[in-house]
């Protein structure tokens, strides 16, 4: 009887992402028994190495970056399915070598499925895709499951650097693969707590009726990082915060908070509803972009190694967006993200409206916050619901307190897996729900296009300096103050109270 086999080919197989994330995640999946039977992993990169040399390198990586030190037996078992082929993505002959190596490994096994993972710098994407097509490795265009097994491609971010380049790349991908074969990555979608947004919203009847402009005053999405650009300045200085975090991760979070309930969890229902949100985001004229955005650069950025002299690349962004539909008309969505900020925290705060009339006194007016629901995505994964309570033994004086849920105490024996575990497993199983469709990518670029430099006729706001270890430039507070709001956080606590 024929034996089905699957090969995962990692282009950039010795690179940082492969070593830090992909191999540790694959090893974890292997230990949990979640990889397909007969899975082989072939690393493809320029370095000269043997299969054994690759196994050694990946063994070190899993020990260094994995969450568990590999047990010797488990590692031996896993490593025997690791292979390596030196090759250059720009050289067509190297794809012919890959084809022969794969045929050799797949000998006697059918169907033989192949997942190509482009874990390489974006400048290689187009050539690699075109060569996969011309070498025959990608199979027949338009067929997800060809006679001899399926072919899929996972493409890492960033997907384009603006709308035009994303379109060009989508066209190049479309000439070789059918959309159903393409898995564009946003690793935020692989995060357990990001997926929980769907469960939280659509499995609890008590929140959904309030989830609209009648009860919600504003929504705040923060992805703050304590780290600076570190040794990634070469990449970062060319990208900036809008490309690095806003166009992808933050807009993904926004769509999941704002989307209508899909009727099923399949890839297209989910992705269609998310796209509807992006389409409804109010388009900016260049002048509106300036008024609704604050861009910042942390002090000391210009001294980082690899940053161009006098660079105006922003390392912080705060945005005010509106979703023009029935559910969200008039509700500001505030997004902020940056490097070298006070803390590493990713959270979404839904701030509800104030009571129409307040009968009670408060001990300290600053302590009175309207109800808020904070979904803390990382690092202290959980949920905080803030409400008013009577202070005991003090007449009818009230205060605001939090009711909290934490993953680590509620699920003591279950670790939160790395995002890449889920994404790799889904790509191997053919579930594209947590991957980005071509139309989503293009819509997301449209939303931020006025914030990118070199757009014709656009004068971008110059980044404002902020202190490392702060919550960004002062104008970010003013952006909210214009609407009578202020940043809430961290995870439901007031920032000042938290300091």
Q: Which residues are near ligand BG6 by CB under 6 A?
A: 225, 244, 346
Please state, in angstroms and rounded to a whole number, the distance separating the CA atoms of residues 122 and 52.
Answer: 29
Collapse the DSSP code of 28 into the 3-class scheme (helix H, G, I; strand E, B; otherwise coil) and give the result: helix
CB of 225 to ligand BG6, least distance (A): 5
Q: CB nearer to ligand BG6: give 346 or 369.
A: 346
Q: Which of 187, 249, 440, 450 is catalytic?
A: 249
Contacting residues for 221 by C-beta, under 8 A, at least 6 apart? 250, 253, 254, 257, 333, 334, 335, 336, 347, 348
Q: How far is the CB of 235 from ligand BG6 (least distance, A)?
A: 8
What's the rounded Cα separation, in Å, for the pair 112 and 161?
35
Residue 9 pairs with which residues in a beta bridge?
Answer: 42, 116
**Nearest distance from residue 311's CB to ligand BG6, in Å?**
16
How crowded is residue 1: how many other Cβ atoms within 10 Å of its Cβ?
Answer: 2
What is the nearest approach in angstroms of ligand BG6 to the Cβ of residue 347? 11
Coil, helix or strand for 220? strand
Q: Which is nearer to ligand BG6, 94 or 192 (CB)?
A: 192
Max Cα–Cα distance, the chain, nearest Å = 83
Rank residues 123 and 412 by Cβ distance to ligand BG6 and give the closer one: 123
Please tell me the distance from the alpha carbon of residue 75 to that of residue 77, in angstroms, as a whole number.
5
Looking at beta carbons only, is 61 or 346 nearer to ligand BG6?
346
Distances (CA, A) of 463 to 217, 239, 317, 452: 28, 14, 9, 12
Q: In the complex with ligand BG6, which residue's Cβ is closer, 30 or 122? A: 122
To ligand BG6, the closest distance from the beta carbon of 183 in angstroms equals 16
Residue 442: name the closest of 234, 291, 228, 251 by CA.
251
- Specify burial of residue 152 (Cβ count, 10 A radius: 0-12, 13-18, 19+): buried
Nearer to ligand BG6, 177 or 435 (CB): 435
Respond yes or no: is residue 485 known to be catalytic: no
Q: How many helices (H) and strands (E) does the chain have?
A: 17, 17
- Which residues have a Cβ under 8 Å from the Cβ of 59 and sit 6 or more positions away? 70, 75, 79
Distance CA 416, CA 421 (A): 10
Q: How many angstroms separate the Cα of 81 from the Cα of each of 9, 42, 306, 342, 497?
A: 12, 8, 38, 43, 53
DSSP bridge partners of 109: 3
Instruction: Find the shortest distance in angstroms from Cβ 232 to ligand BG6.
Output: 7
Are 471 and 275 in contact, with CB atoms under 8 Å apart? no
Residue whose CB is nearest to ligand BG6 in the complex, by number: 244
* Closer by beta carbon to ligand BG6, 15 or else 149: 15
- Residue 440 CB, nearest distance to ligand BG6 (Å)? 16
In the complex with ligand BG6, the residue whose CB is nearer, 225 or 421, is 225
**Measured from the CB of residue 194, what is the shortest distance to ligand BG6 in angstroms?**
10
Ranges of beta strands (E only) in 323-419 are 332-338, 345-352, 361-362, 372-378, 382-390, 397-406
Residues serving a catalytic function are 249
């Amino acid at each position: 009887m024929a034996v089905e086999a699957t090969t995962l080919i990692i282009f950039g197989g010795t690179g940082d992402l492969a070593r830090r994330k992909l191999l540790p995640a694959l090893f974890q999946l292997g230990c949990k028994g979640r990889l397909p039977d007969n899975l082989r992993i072939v690393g493809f990169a320029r370095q000269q190495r043997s299969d054994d040399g690759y196994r050694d390198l990946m063994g070190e990586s899993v020990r260094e970056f994995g969450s568990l030190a590999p047990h010797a037996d488990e590692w031996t078992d896993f490593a025997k399915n690791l292979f390596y082929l030196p090759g250059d993505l720009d050289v067509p002959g190297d794809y012919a070598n890959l084809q022969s190596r794969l045929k050799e490994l797949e000998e006697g096994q059918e169907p033989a499925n192949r997942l190509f993972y482009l874990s390489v710098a974006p400048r290689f994407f187009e050539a690699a895709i075109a060569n996969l097509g011309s070498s025959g490795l990608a199979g027949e265009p338009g067929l997800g499951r060809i006679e001899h097994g399926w072919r899929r491609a996972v493409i890492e971010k960033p997907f384009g650097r603006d709308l035009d380049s994303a379109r060009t790349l989508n066209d190049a991908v479309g000439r070789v693969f059918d959309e159903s074969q393409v898995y564009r990555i946003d690793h935020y979608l692989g995060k357990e707590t990001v997926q929980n947004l769907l469960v939280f919203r659509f499995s609890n009847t008590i929140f959904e009726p309030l989830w609209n402009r009648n009860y919600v005053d504003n929504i705040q999405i923060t992805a703050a990082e304590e780290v600076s650009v570190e040794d990634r300045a070469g990449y970062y200085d060319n990208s900036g915060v809008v490309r690095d975090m806003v166009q992808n991760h933050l807009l993904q979070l926004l769509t999941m908070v704002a989307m209508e309930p899909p009727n099923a969890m399949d890839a297209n229902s989910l992705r269609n509803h998310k796209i509807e949100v992006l389409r409804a985001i109010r388009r900016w004229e260049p002048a509106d972009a300036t008024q609704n955005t604050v861009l910042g650069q942390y002090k000391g950025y210009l001294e980082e190694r690899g940053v161009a002299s006098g660079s105006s690349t922003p390392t912080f962004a705060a945005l005010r967006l509106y979703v023009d539909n029935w559910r969200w008309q008039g509700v500001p969505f505030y997004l902020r993200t940056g490097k070298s900020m006070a803390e590493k925290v990713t959270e979404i705060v839904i701030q509800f409206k104030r009571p129409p009339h307040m009968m009670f006194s408060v001990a300290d007016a600053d302590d009175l916050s309207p109800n808020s629901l904070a979904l803390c995505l990382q690092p202290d994964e959980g949920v905080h619901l803030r409400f008013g309570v009577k202070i005991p033994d003090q007449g009818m004086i009230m205060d605001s307190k939090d009711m909290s849920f934490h993953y680590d105490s509620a699920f003591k024996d279950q670790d939160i897996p790395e995002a890449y575990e889920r994404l790799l497993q889904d790509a191997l199983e053919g579930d594209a729900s947590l991957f980005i469709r071509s139309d989503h990518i293009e819509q997301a670029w449209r939303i931020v296009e006025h914030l990118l430099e070199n757009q014709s006729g656009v004068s971008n706001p110059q980044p404002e300096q902020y202190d490392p270890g702060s919550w960004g430039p002062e104008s970010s507070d003013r952006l909210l103050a214009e609407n009578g709001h202020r940043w809430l956080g961290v995870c439901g606590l007031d920032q000042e109270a938290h300091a």
